[in-house]
Amino acid sequence: MAYHSTSGIANNTADFFSRFRSFIVNTVGWTVLQEDLGAANPFLYLSSSGENGRETVYLLFDKFTANADKICVRQALWWNSGTSSAVQPAGSTGYNYVATKDSTTFPYWIFADLDHIVFVTRIGTIYNAYYFGTVKRYWSSNMALTQADVGAGSNVVVPVDDALYLAKTSSARFRGGRAGVYRGFEQSTGLGDAEMLAFCLLKCEESGISDAAKAWRDGRRMSSAITMIL
């Protein structure tokens, strides 16, 4: 889907927050997890499954009265619907925010799709730009999503939503509940051999896995030698 955009002159921070909410939900299609724009500390928590329908993006927008002239933004690992709360939200009110004005007008521009949100506000003569959403991947976006918690042990069966994405791998296993290890990494990553080599060696050495690094150094083929830490 192409980017949507909107612009205008906001009366103040509260008006901007309301306009952003209408645009990102009604026009772009993000989902509201929780909101209260009329609270003493207004907030808007959003989620998106991305343009491909398989992402998990959680953005938390807060207008704290203690932080004047800004809307603070955090990103969460996931959303616990049982407790209606964000899990492991990350961000700093001092660095992750959209500059606004609480009591005067200011122009703004917003560009967004289901993967990204870009803000530009002009406060006085200064233009402020901000980006929130997914980051550029250096691996294939064709991914199988687990359908249940992964338990510890050997020969653990992990149900996924689409096993076709694993068709190019010769085997798959999980270690210590930390990460999946796939042999025969799919070659549709877009990385060149040199970049993939450097990335894999780094990840293998970080994880204490020496066989994959040795396989690379022995010059084996990419399709059968790479061990990728996801």
Residue 50 DSSP one-character state = -
Q: What is the pLDDT along the chain (230 residues), one digit of tens a residue?
A: 678 999 999 999 999 999 999 999 999 999 999 999 999 999 999 999 999 888 889 999 999 988 999 999 999 988 998 899 999 998 888 889 999 999 999 999 999 999 999 999 999 999 999 999 887 665 566 667 777 777 777 777 778 777 666 655 444 433 333 233 232 333 334 444 444 445 555 555 555 545 444 444 444 333 333 333 33
Closest CA to 171 of 117, 219, 212, 121: 212
Residue 97 belongs to a domain: yes
CB 14 within 8 A of CB 65: no
Q: Are residues 16 and 110 in the same domain?
A: yes
Query: Which residue(s) pair with 172 in the sheet?
Result: 182
Residue 219 belongs to a domain: yes
Q: Are residues 95 and 174 in the same domain?
A: no
Q: Are residues 26 and 111 in the same domain?
A: yes
Q: Are residues 117 and 77 in the same domain?
A: yes
Give the CA distances from residue 2 to residues 24, 112, 114, 125, 180, in Å, rounded to whole numbers and listed in that order: 14, 9, 10, 30, 33
Which structural domain range is residue 14 located in? 4-133
